[in-house]
Structure formats: structure tokens, C-alpha cells
A and B are shown apart, each in its own frame.
Chain A
Amino acid sequence: MAQPADLLFSKEHEWVKIDGDVATVGITDYAQNSLGDIVYVELPKVGKKIDQFGNIGVVESVKAVSDLFTPIGGEVIEVNAGLDADPAAVNREPYGAGWLFKVKLADPSQKSNLLSPSDYEAIAVD
């Protein structure tokens, strides 16, 4: 799956889509593939203030657990409640229905700390 062109990426294999001052966050196709079948996602609570690159949750698969680091800082305004019943959505559509949470940006300039799709492609290798 090629990286969608309108996203930015972190070294920890998360993506972020910025729309005004709201950012949607998820994990990349490479990440979901490495983890295997995802069984549970632990997300930060709505209202929580998170720092860029902070450890804010967990993605659990059958064989591994991965810390979730947020690629962008701000206040959590929404989480993907559907993942509770259907964590497999993260495997099926990591850039679509498998989104994780939305953040109201604290500092838009944090974008500059992230990777472009082509830069991310370079590190998303086995």
C-alpha cells in the first residue's frame, strides 16, 4: 500500500492527517503488517493533553505489543470507539476506518518534526 499523499509520518510508524487545527492519527500499513492480527488498542482518554512523540497508549496483537507514540501534540477530542468491537479494522484499513484518535493541535509548527510520505517510505522497510 503506497503511503497516502496527504499524510505526514513519524519514525514510530504513525501517520497524521491535519485538517485545520484538528489532526487524525493512526498507524501505518507497515506497522499493522509487522504487528500481525491486532486484538486490542488502548487509546488515551478524551480530554487528555498529550505531548508530541509521547507514549500515549498501546496496540496489542496476538504476538506483540507496541507502544503508541503520538506524532502530534494537543488535546484528545475523539477516539475511534469502533475499535473496541472491531480491532481488525486497524489491519484492514490502517488509513481509513482503522484511525485511532483525533487531536486538537497545540502547536501547528510541530508538523515540521514529521516525515513526508517519501521520507517515511525510506524507513518503512524490513
Chain B
Amino acid sequence: MSTLTPDSTQPLIFELGQEGRANRYVEPGKPLDTFLPSSLLRSELPLPDNSELDVVRHFTKLSQRTFGIDLGFYPLGSCTMKYNPRVNDAMASLPQFRDLHPYTPDDMAQGALQVMYELERNLASLFGMAAFSLNPSAGAHAELAALLIAKKYFRDRGEVRRDKVIVPDTAHGTNPASAAMCGFKVISLPSDERGRVSVEEIKKVLGPDTAVCMMTNPNTLGLFEDHIHEITAAVHAAGGLMYYDGANANAIMGNVRPGDMGFDLMHLNLHKTFTIPHGGGGAGHGPIGVAAHLVDYLPTPLVVATPKALGESMGPPSDRLSFALDFDRPKSIGPMRSFWSNFAHAVRALAYIYSNGAEGLTKVSQLAVLNANYVRVKVSEFLEAPYPEICRHEFVVSAQALKKATGVKALDIAKALLDHGMMAPTVYFPLLVPECLMIEPTETESKETLDHFVEVLRGIVQTAQSDPQELFDAPVTTVVGRVDETRAARQPNLRWEAQRG
């Protein structure tokens, strides 16, 4: 049964418009060769002219062909697709934030610097690190920064032999990729039968060539690494550094801190835990935090605060400080990006912290863990949970048995969910679990939504047994069905061309 809309093809913006159908946002300009010799100018600008109405219709229709958290449940494991509060966007859009140029002198940008300072201080306390830099643009970017810090730190200490990065086999794909970009070699650590990093296994690979061990806790199976303290102690004993992948930070706020677990470096994905909208895949924001001995290596610049001579003695403590960007940091790895931070996102994240306070953030993690366990217990009734124990904010189930019995794979389950107005969970990650579905409900979903999801999933598994073809055909209610990815890769069509159309 198909309910595809008749105009299921949306023309490209280049296929619309007429030359000269301009929107007069500015007055007409003089011919360009008035100002520059024509040898420096381009002869043609082959872009369409579209009326504002046509552009508005075009993008409005595109938005209607896009599924976001605002439309439905988004249980994408490892992505923390929680509600993005609108007040955060409203604050980020205040004109004095929006229009502030990065080269504005410090004394005329005190509000921006204070936001960055407060965010940095709050994150440092929340996660037990000595300091954070807001410089990196994303989690993977921060990981790279962390490995660059490790590389420089060991170079400064004359320990150039340290070239191995230890990564659990459940790690996110960016971990080994980042390591390679720093000239490190990756040692993959097999998880034990409990899905955790084994202390004995890691001790086998530790040595004088160990640079960094990269882990996340809870891990990507949603399980708390209960031997974490032994692991960090072992790595430190071998002279290595511990790096915490903060992708799963939503599970630990107010409960446990990476600094207390023994991590020397960490990153956060503000677009996961701190509600920065994912915006279709970015922009994110990935602050990097370090322990005291690594602060000097953080990317440049940092925000520094000094007490004001006189003036406000009322109000929050940070109002009594004056702020500046510090570029004079000789041991820093340097900047990771063109200006100081994804500042608009820093505003959003700080607004989220202000909405919650310590108690609120603690509650966030508690309820994220509650929601995940509730769904786990129910879903385990009809899909195999390879680790049937208390999980944190996410858990994995396997469709391997279903595949053997009916041919229906994790991918087919995912596609069937799309027909029910929900997003699919993460599939085929981590690679450790065959036909894996990783489910992270997040704390912003109500019990009714979770119950509905469980029932829909139960129905899909039943359909797998009675009429698997229905699932192989899914989705059928979306504007397009499954896309031919092989053709896309074999015959790459990556841009509109006038003659091709």
C-alpha cells in the first residue's frame, strides 16, 4: 500500500527560475568592469535567478521531505537525539551575539567571552577536568586535537617511541581515523564476553610504546566499564594517557566524571548531550577537556578571566570578572579552526545548562538511563539482547536469529520503522554484534512514546515471521523507496549540470 504523494519528485533549484527574475535585496550595481579589468573577471555566472516565493516553496517542500526530532521518535543509538529547546536558538539569535565579528576587540566582546568562560567552567566541573577548550568544531575534530596534544606532550618529554593508540573494537570509527592522522598506529582491543574492555587483555598490549588508550564509558554497547579505574591505572603505569570519547556523556552527568575515572583528555559532543540541533549533520561543537598537566597544550586561544578592579559586587561571581582571549600559549598545539569556537553553539549549550542546573543535568542522565532500560526490558521479549543486564542510556539487540529464521535483517526492521513515522535505530554498529540495532531513546521521550515504539517494533518482528516480503519492500509510505546505492557509487552523479539536467 503506497501513499506516495503525486509530486514525489522535487525539481532542483537550477531547473527553476528565469534569468533576470531577481529579488531586489540590494540596488543594482554598476558593471563589474567599472572596477576591475575584465581579464580578472569571470565571463559567466551560470546560476539561476528565482523569485523569493519560488525559493520559499522549494525549501518548504524540501523540509517536508525531511524527518527530524520535531516530527517523531528518533532512537538513534550513539547520537542522543533529544529535544532541542527553542529558547537556546532564541538566545543564540540575539543580534548582539549574531552580528559580533570575531576580530571585535576583547573589551567590546565581553558578553561573548563571558559565555565562553562560563561554559568552559561549567563543563570542567561537570566532567572533572582542569580546563576545556571550545576550539574544536566537532567530536572527531576534538579527538584529533587530543591526539595532537598527546603527540606533542610525549615529544616534549623525549618519549618519541610512543606511537601506539589502543582502541576497543567497539569504538566509533573516528577514533582510529584520528589516530592515523597523527602518525599513530592503532591496536584494536577485543571486548570480553561481558562486552567490556578486559583488564588482562589491555595489560598484554601496554608497553613503553603506548601513547594513548581511547575509550568511552559507558561503551558503545551502553554498558558501564566497571573496571575503568584499574584500566586507567594500568595505562598510567605504562606511561600512557587515557582519552575519553564523550559521545555517551548523556549517561553520566551528576553520577560519575571522566576526570575521576582517571581520564587525562576528553571531548564532548555538544550536539549530542547539550541539545545543539543536529541540523542534518552539523554544525556540531566538540570542546576538548584536559587534566592539569595538559592544559598548556590546549588549542589556542583560551578565554582568561581577571577580577575587575572595581564595580559590580552584586550578581553571579563571573559578572565580577573581565575576560580576554589568550593567544600567547607557546606549548599549545595551535588552533584547530579558523576562529575561536562555534560560538553560537556555545550560547545554546550554556542556555541548556542554565535551564537545568546541577540537579537538572543529574536528572537528565538518570531519566535517559531509565528510558533505555525500560525499552530494553520490553524489546528483549522479542529480540535478542546479547548483554541482558542493566544498561546505561542505550542498549543493543541483535536480529541475527530473526535473519536465520526469516531472512529479515536489521536493515529491513529499520526501513519498516520509517513507515510508522519513526526514525530507525542505529544499525550495524558496533560491528561486534551481528545484525545489530542500537537503541537510545533519550530522556525527553515520554512513557507513551516508548510504549508505542515497543509495540510497533513487536509488530514488525511478528510481520517478519508471517509476511517477511512486506518488510523487504519497506518503506512504502515515504516519498521514495529504498535507493540504489550501488548505482550511486558506480555512476557518481554529484552535481547538477546544465546539459545533463
Contacts and interface: CB of A to CB of B under 8 A. Distances in A.
Interface of A: 37, 39-40, 60, 62, 87-88
Given A39-B489, A60-B489, 9 more contacts: A37-B485, A37-B489, A37-B490, A39-B486, A39-B490, A40-B490, A62-B485, A62-B489, A87-B490
Contacts of B490: 37, 39-40, 87-88
B490 to A, nearest CB: 5
Contacts of A62: 485-486, 489
Interface string B472-498: 000000000000011001100000000
A39 B484 CA distance: 12
Nearest to B490: A39
A87 B490 CA distance: 7
Nearest to B486: A37
A115 B485 CA distance: 35
5 contacts: A37-B490, A39-B489, A39-B490, A40-B490, A87-B490
Interface residues of B, number: 4
Contacts of B486: 37, 39, 62
Contacts of A40: 489-490
A40 B488 CA distance: 12
Binding site secondary structure of chain A = loop
Contacts of A88: 490
A114 B80 CA distance: 49
B378 to A, nearest CB: 31
Nearest to B485: A62
B17 to A, nearest CB: 34
User: Nearest 5 CB-CB pairs, A to B?
Assistant: A39-B489, A37-B486, A62-B485, A39-B490, A62-B486
A34 B8 CA distance: 35
A37 B489 CA distance: 9
B139 to A, nearest CB: 22
Interface string B140-162: 00000000000000000000000
Interface in B442-501: 485-486, 489-490
Contacts of B489: 37, 39-40, 60, 62
Contacts of B485: 37, 62
A62 B489 CA distance: 7
A30 to B, nearest CB: 18
B371 to A, nearest CB: 31
A51 B91 CA distance: 61
A62 B490 CA distance: 9
Contacts of A87: 490
A36 to B, nearest CB: 8
Contacts of A37: 485-486, 489-490
A90 to B, nearest CB: 11
A113 B158 CA distance: 42
Nearest to A87: B490
A125 B391 CA distance: 34
A86 to B, nearest CB: 8
A87 B485 CA distance: 14
A88 B484 CA distance: 14
A40 B490 CA distance: 7
A32 to B, nearest CB: 13
A110 B219 CA distance: 45
A39 B485 CA distance: 10
Contacts of A39: 486, 489-490
